[in-house]
């Protein structure tokens, strides 16, 4: 641990000592215009959720850690830290020159205030659960303990101590999540709910909020008090809420935005042909899967049937012919791309499709079904063109391979969620999950017996126990081993059918410099620049 | 007149109350709630949220609270846009929609009436057929097809106008959305106008006017136009209300910060207060515009008098 710490410290010092040399050929006007999906619901970092708000909050605020352009966790407002040998106590040393946009120093007390506010029941944060690794956080959220009991304290103005319930190796990666950001106490207390508005919002990141016209744009400008202002090149950032991807594409083509948030998949062929150099596709930490409702027939206690249905799906056809952006067929529960973690795989992952289908037919028969006595099943999904195409393809594959009769049911999002959670009507349902932080636990926890996203109702005490052990394990290697074991259980039991792992896709103008794709798809505007064009 | 107006306005209160009650309970009957996401929230967090937004109270109490706040002019906080109140969302969105809507309806009125009259005067001629074909096309091509075509031509290929965005309401940015909003209305109005104009031109007063030897221009402008406008006026009431509260399609496609998309988004997100706010607001506007239409009727048609 000590060696690791010294190495880390050296890395930190080297990083801080460099004023990056400015790239040549910079445009005179450093303005970046980003498409940003849906309108953000709030810029209060402790109430925010969803990708659009997170994109903007990463520019406005800075956590103890941040991410380098390639996604690696690097020091943010904390310039260095020490981790106790048991992995449960983190001591952060804050930068002396870190300032709020109004010039006030950013202190350890601000972080204490922010973290307490985040878990305070009065804040009613939806994402506060992400702070559960911190000592007493869960009790505070539940109102069983006062916020003062949260395991966070300022040792002095620039030293912050965070105590954890158990060693949590991905904890540093959590600290760039907006739930952990500090907020400026004086302005929160002065303005209450309105503190996150232009002219009132005091932030500690590379940018400050200048304008927010709902459904039109959000304009950020350089925060001259930011500690690393010297290395920030882009002066002004515009975020445009554009939900419709075709609209976004048109505005991109008309030269009104420099980076799209997404790409319309139905126009991907045109894009690949006409804008091949501007299309950026990269693996994205998310999985698209179908779930089985394990509480009712036909899938309750019917592993053979579940396995047969999973084997009969030709995932390659789905990623090549339907989604088409470069998604990867998924044969594991955890999507690939997490540092140091090699996901477990289905035992049939490497079989040719023909062999899979033969085996699927055998299992299907053993489960008591046949061509003359076929399974009748329903796939339920939330209304969307893409989900529909995938459901139709899978229904066709099941029909062809096994003779299964499938009924497709689409529902409006909230109705669909309600039905999925109630587990009364659903048989096979569509689902997806995008990781919040770069660790397999993100995905593994979903299938814990009591987890809020376990709509399959997978209950396996052995799985729960392995994950519990993993969450107490301080040694990263052993921890990954335990999780891999747990993942193998999922792949054996088939409570879900993983189908493909997501990709992030953007169109980026050639004059946007230093864009580096990364697995969480986080791009800080401060790391980019605009070239002459 | 004053008594009539007062009576009408007082009569609007029960209508609005019924509308509000229906909307309130229908919205609550829809499955799912404002804070549902894929991952169900831990019970404690759900309880914190419910408490904060008074969703833990009995429904009837929530209804009472809503009416009480509304009586004080407060639509409540938005569940979705947490930094804003529904009053603020309506106050920022409505001027944008109002400006676009009024421009569109004004253009539609002038162009539609002119085209309709022209077609009626040249009944069954080439002019008539071309105007009517255009009108039918305008009615049948939906906005979500028309608007992207306009953008492709004028923004992407020609580069004359922006492809979207509001830009604080700059003229260049409003042009395409206004055209997109006005075209279907032009189509409706010209058809209505043509029909009623043909009918009026065949009526006895016009025959008399012509028999007196009045020039055609005077016959049309002074005698025929007013009665022929009546159906258009009654169409204008609800049409104006619909257009100035925003069009979800046009707003979405052009990225306009108007009121229209709150109808759909509010409902999809189960943003109870926002949905209630726009429903009540829209309801009040429709009632108001129908009332104005009735008053205009009295001015146009001597047979209608409100005593």
ipTM: 0.85
pLDDT of the residue at A13: 45
- For Cα atoms A10, A222, A24, give the angle at the middle one, nearest 5 degrees: 70
Three-state secondary structure readout of A218-275: EEEEECCCCCCHHHCCCCEEEEECECCHHHHHHHHHCCCCCECCCCCHHHHHHHHHHC
- Residues B298-301: contacts with CB within 8 Å, 24+ apart? B300/B226, B300/B227, B300/B229, B300/B230, B300/B233, B301/B227, B301/B230
Q: Tell me, what's the pLDDT at B169?
A: 84
List chain B residues with CB under 8 Å of A39: 81
What is the spatial distance between Cα A176 and Cα A61, in angstroms, rounded to a whole number? Answer: 9
- How far is residue B233's CA from residue B181's CA, in Å, rounded to a whole number? 18
Report the alpha-carbon distance of residue A92 to residue A103 in Å, rounded. Answer: 22
Residue B241: pLDDT band (50, 70, 90) is confident
Whether residue B35 lies within 8 A of chain A, CB to CB, comes out as yes
Cβ atoms of A71 and A523 within 8 Å: the answer is no
**Alpha carbon of A375: minimum distance to chain B alpha carbons (Å):** 29
Given pLDDT bands bounded at 50, 70 and 90, which one contains residue B221?
Answer: confident
pLDDT digits (tens, 9 = 90+) for B58-92: 999 999 999 999 889 899 999 888 889 999 999 99
Q: Touching check for B255 and chain A: CB below 8 Å?
A: yes
Residue A18 has pLDDT above 70, yes or no: no
CA distances from A275 to A212, A279, A333, B104 (A): 31, 6, 34, 36
Q: pLDDT digits over B280-293, tens only?
A: 998 998 888 888 88
Distance CA A279, CA B153 (A): 23
pLDDT digits (tens, 9 = 90+) for B93-115: 999 999 999 999 999 999 999 99
Bond from prior residue into A298 cis (ω within 30 degrees of 0)? yes
Most A CBs within 10 Å, among B27, B28, B29, B31, to test the A interface: B31
- Residues in chain B within 8 Å Cβ distance of A197: 83
Q: Say whether A258 sits in a helix, a strand or coil.
A: coil
Q: Report the greatest alpha carbon distance in chain A.
A: 77
Residue-wise pLDDT tens digits, A333-355 = 999 988 889 999 999 999 999 99
Using a CB-CB distance cutoff of 8 angstroms, which residues of chain B are in contact with residue A244?
252-253
**Over the stretch A185-202, which tens digit does the pLDDT of each residue have?**
999 999 998 999 999 999
User: pLDDT tens-digit profile of A248-257?
Assistant: 999 999 999 9
* Residues whose CB falls within 8 Å of the CB of residue B204, separated by 6 or more in sequence, listed in order: none
Over the range A14-44, which residues count as b (16 or more CB within 10 Å of their CB) and which as e? eeeeeeeeeeeebeeebebbbbbbbbbbbbb
Q: Is the pLDDT of residue A129 over 90?
A: no
Q: Provide the shortest C-alpha distance from residue B61 to chain A (in Å).
A: 22
Which residue among B40, B42, B92 sits closest to A214, beta carbon to beta carbon? B92
Distance CA A463, CA A327 (A): 28
The helix or strand, by DSSP H or E, that contains position A513, with its residue range, turns out to be strand A512-513
For chain B, first and last CA: distance in Å?
Answer: 6
Distance of alpha carbon A32 from alpha carbon A525, whole angstroms: 8
Q: How far is A382 from chain B (nearest CA, A)?
A: 11
Supply the pLDDT for residue A21: 66
Candidates B33, B156, B270; nearest CB to A250: B156
B84: closest CA of chain A, how far (Å): 8
Cβ–Cβ < 8 Å for B245, B97: yes
Q: What integer best gives the mean pLDDT of chain B?
A: 88
The answer to whether the CB of B78 falls within 8 A of the CB of B86 is yes
B162, A213: Cβ pair inside 8 Å?
no
User: How much is the pLDDT for B238?
Assistant: 82
Angstrom distance (rounded) from CA A393 to CA A401: 12
* pLDDT for the residue numbered B140: 85
Cβ atoms B142, B217 nearer than 8 A: no
In terms of CA atoms, which chain B residue is nearest residue A383? B268
β-pairing, A217-222 vs A207-213, is antiparallel
Q: Are residues B232 and B193 in contact, defined by beta-carbon separation less than 8 angstroms?
A: yes
How close is the nearest chain A Cα to the Cα of B287, in Å? Answer: 28
For A296-300, A364-368, B53-57, which range has the lowest pLDDT when averaged over its residues? B53-57
First to last CA, chain A: 49
């Amino acid at each position: 641990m000590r060696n690791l710490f010294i190495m880390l410290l050296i890395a930190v010092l080297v990083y801080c000592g460099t004023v990056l040399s400015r790239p040549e050929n910079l445009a005179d006007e450093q303005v970046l215009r980003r498409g940003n999906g849906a309108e953000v619901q709030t810029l209060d970092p402790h109430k925010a959720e969803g990708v659009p708000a997170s994109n903007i909050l990463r520019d406005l605020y800075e956590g103890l850690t941040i991410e380098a352009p390639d996604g690696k966790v690097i020091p943010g407002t904390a310039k260095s830290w020490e981790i106790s040998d048991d992995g449960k106590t983190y001591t952060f040393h804050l930068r002396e020159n870190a300032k709020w946009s109004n010039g006030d120093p950013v202190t350890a007390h601000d972080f204490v205030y922010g973290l307490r506010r985040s878990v305070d029941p009065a804040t009613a944060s939806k994402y506060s659960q992400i702070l559960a690794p911190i000592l007493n956080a869960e009790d505070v959220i539940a109102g069983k303990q006062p916020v003062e009991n949260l395991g966070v304290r300022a040792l002095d103005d620039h030293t912050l101590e965070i105590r954890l319930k158990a060693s949590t190796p991905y904890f540093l990666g959590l600290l760039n999540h907006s739930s952990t950001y500090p907020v400026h106490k004086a302005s929160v207390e002065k303005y209450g709910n309105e503190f996150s508005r232009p002219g009132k919002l005091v932030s500690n990141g590379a940018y400050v909020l200048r304008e927010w016209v709902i459904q039109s744009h959000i304009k950020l400008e350089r925060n001259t008090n930011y500690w690393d202002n010297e290395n920030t090149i882009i002066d002004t950032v515009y975020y445009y809420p554009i939900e419709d991807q075709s609209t976004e594409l048109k505005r991109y083509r008309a030269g009104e935005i420099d980076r799209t948030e997404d790409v319309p998949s139905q126009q991907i062929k045109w894009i690949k042909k006409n804008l091949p150099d501007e299309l950026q596709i990269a693996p994205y930490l998310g999985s698209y899967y179908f779930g089985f409702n394990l509480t009712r027939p036909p899938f309750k206690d019917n592993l053979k049937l579940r396995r047969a249905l999973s084997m009969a799906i030709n995932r390659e056809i789905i990623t090549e012919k339907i989604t088409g952006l470069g998604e990867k067929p998924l044969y594991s529960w955890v999507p690939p791309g997490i540092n140091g973690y090699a996901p477990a795989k289905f035992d049939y992952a490497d079989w040719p499709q023909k062999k899979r289908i033969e085996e699927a037919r055998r299992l299907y028969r053993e489960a008591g079904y046949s061509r003359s006595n076929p399974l009748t099943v329903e796939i339920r999904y939330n209304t969307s063109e893409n989900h529909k195409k995938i459901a139709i393809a899978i229904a066709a594959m099941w029909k062809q391979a096994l003779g299964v009769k499938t009924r497709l049911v689409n529902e409006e999002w909230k109705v669909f969620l309600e039905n999925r959670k109630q587990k009364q009507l659903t048989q096979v349902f569509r689902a997806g999950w995008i990781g919040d932080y770069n660790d397999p636990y993100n995905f593994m926890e979903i299938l814990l017996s009591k987890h809020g996203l376990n709509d399959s109702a997978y209950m396996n005490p052995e799985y729960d126990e392995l994950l519990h052990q993993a969450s107490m394990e301080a040694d990263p290697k052993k921890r990954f081993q335990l999780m891999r074991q747990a993942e193998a259980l999922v792949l054996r039991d088939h409570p879900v059918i993983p189908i493909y792992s997501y990709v992030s896709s953007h169109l980026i103008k050639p004059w946007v410099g230093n864009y580096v794709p990364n697995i969480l798809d986080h791009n800080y505007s401060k790391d980019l620049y605009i070239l002459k064009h | 007149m004053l008594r009539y107006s007062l009576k009408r306005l007082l009569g609007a209160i029960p209508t609005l109350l019924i509308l509000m009650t229906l909307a309130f309970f229908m919205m609550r009957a829809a499955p799912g709630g404002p804070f549902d996401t894929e991952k169900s929230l831990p019970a404690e967090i759900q309880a914190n949220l419910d408490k904060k937004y008074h969703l833990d109270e009995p429904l009837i109490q929530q209804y009472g609270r809503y009416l009480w706040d509304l009586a004080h002019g407060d639509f409540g906080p938005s569940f979705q846009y947490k930094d804003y109140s529904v009053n603020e969302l309506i106050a920022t969105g409505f001027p944008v929609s109002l400006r676009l809507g009024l421009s569109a309806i004004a253009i539609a009125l002038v162009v539609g009436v002119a085209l309709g009259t022209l077609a009626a005067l040249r009944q069954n001629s080439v002019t008539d057929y071309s105007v009517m074909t255009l009108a039918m096309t305008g009615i049948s091509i939906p906005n979500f097809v028309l608007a992207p075509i306009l953008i492709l031509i004028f923004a992407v290929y020609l580069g004359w106008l922006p492809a979207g965005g509001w830009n604080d309401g700059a003229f260049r940015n409003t042009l395409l959305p206004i055209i997109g909003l006005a075209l279907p209305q032009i189509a409706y109005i010209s058809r209505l106008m043509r029909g009623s104009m043909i009918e009026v031109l065949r009526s006895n007063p016009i025959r008399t006017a012509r028999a007196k030897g009045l020039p055609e221009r005077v016959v049309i402008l002074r005698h025929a136009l007013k009665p022929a406008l009546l159906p258009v006026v009654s169409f204008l009431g609800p049409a104006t209300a619909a257009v100035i509260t925003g069009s979800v399609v046009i707003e979405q496609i052009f990225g306009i910060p108007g009121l229209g998309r709150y109808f759909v988004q509010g409902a999809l997100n189960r943003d109870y207060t926002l949905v209630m706010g726009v429903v009540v607001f829209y309801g009040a506007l429709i009632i108001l515009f129908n009332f104005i239409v009735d008053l205009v009727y009295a001015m146009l048609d001597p047979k209608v008098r409100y005593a």
